[in-house]
Amino acid sequence: MIPFGTRVKDNITGFEGKVMAYTVYMNGCVRYLVEAKATVGNNGVEAWIDEQRLTVKSEATAGGQRAAPRGMPIPPKL
């Protein structure tokens, strides 16, 4: 699993950003939500990308990660 806040790059499109979320499908496919820096206003651009397409550019940075909201389950480590 790629930790939240890690900077990654999509090997196919060149899209770069930070990992904000991930999901695991029943068929075993793992996808990450990657958010790029905002270019206009406060809205960032984001994309769901398959795990095998990502390359880690830099490790997770402190400050971007928050504790899960109360009552929300924490996903298991894969």
Per-block mean pLDDT, blocks of 10 residues, the chain (78 long): 93 94 94 84 84 90 54 61
In a domain, 19, yes or no: yes
**Predicted pLDDT at 61:** 63
In this structure, the number of other CB atoms found within 10 A of the CB of residue 65 comes to 10
Q: How far apart are CA 31 and CA 67, in angstroms?
A: 21
Position 12 scores a pLDDT of 96
- Tell me if 72 is assigned to some domain: no
Q: Indicate whether this model's pTM tops 0.85.
A: no
Residue 77 is assigned to a structural domain of this protein: no
Is 73 a domain residue? no
Q: Is residue 67 part of a domain?
A: no
46 occurs within a structural domain? yes
Instruction: Decide if 2 is inside a domain.
Output: no
| Residue 15 included in any domain | yes
| Domain total in the chain | 1
pLDDT at 75: 64
Range of the structural domain that residue 34 is part of: 7-58
